[in-house]
């Protein structure tokens, strides 16, 4: 939401993020290595007679795993082919895996997310985090952004996640992202 009033626009304008925002960031922000839309809902995830209704289901791009250090202890992370082919595959956080499978192997098994079948392709170890947004990684599941569109409307992302080309460029990359978004969304690039 904007707080300034550039070019006659009103303060408080809601900024909604969509694929065109990712495209303009890729075109204009040379210090950004990856940018990814993320959509998050809690439609419930189930395996056999076990259901976890509080798990965050995150629709993401394949690069998200590298940006957020999502490392598989078994299986693999989501791939570009998963996204391109809209595959119904899922990567599970450590606690969520325990809640659903109680120590049994999870990779290759089928879970239901919002009533739709997904194949588990990877799981992570339990992960301790000092901070998080939406939900801890431990209690999350990740699916391709394209497959999330089979469950809910994904036109508008919950957030955009990006990574700079190198850590020392983080502040400059953030400024480039804001400038690109400001151009497309018609707000001031100094608006935080």
Name the average pLDDT for the chain: 90
Predicted pLDDT at 16: 87
Predicted pLDDT at 107: 98
Contact indicator for 163, 33 with CB cutoff of 8 Å = yes
**How wide is the angle at C-alpha 136 spanned by C-alphas 111 and 181, nearest 5°?**
100
The arithmetic mean of pLDDT across residues 67-86, rounded, is 96
What residues form DSSP beta bridges with 141?
A: 57, 92
Contact indicator for 64, 142 with CB cutoff of 8 Å = yes
Q: What percent of the chain has pLDDT over 90?
A: 77
Contact indicator for 76, 152 with CB cutoff of 8 Å = no
Instruction: Determine the Cα–Cα distance for residues 89 and 108; give it in Å rounded to an integer.
Output: 10
Pick from 38, 67, 15: nearest CA to 160? 38
Give pLDDT tens digits for 156-182. Answer: 999 999 999 999 999 999 999 999 998
Predicted pLDDT at 134: 72
């Amino acid at each position: 939401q904007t707080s300034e009033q550039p070019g006659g626009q009103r303060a408080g304008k809601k900024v909604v993020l969509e694929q065109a925002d990712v495209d303009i960031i890729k075109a204009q922000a040379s210090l950004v290595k990856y940018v990814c839309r993320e959509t998050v809902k809690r439609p419930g995830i189930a395996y056999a007679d076990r259901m976890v209704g509080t798990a965050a289901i995150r629709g993401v791009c394949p690069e998200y795993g590298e940006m957020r250090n999502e490392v598989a202890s078994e299986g693999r992370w989501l791939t570009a082919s998963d996204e391109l082919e809209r595959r119904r595959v899922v990567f599970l956080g450590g606690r969520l895996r325990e809640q659903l499978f109680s120590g049994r192997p999870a990779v290759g098994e089928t879970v239901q997310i919002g009533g739709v079948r997904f194949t588990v392709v990877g799981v992570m170890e339990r992960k301790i985090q000092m901070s998080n947004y939406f939900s801890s990684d431990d209690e999350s599941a990740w699916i391709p952004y394209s497959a999330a569109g089979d469950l809910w409307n994904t036109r508008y992302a919950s957030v955009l996640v990006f990574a700079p080309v190198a850590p020392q460029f983080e502040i400059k990359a953030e400024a480039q992202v804001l400038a690109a978004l400001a151009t497309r969304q018609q707000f001031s690039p100094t608006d935080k």
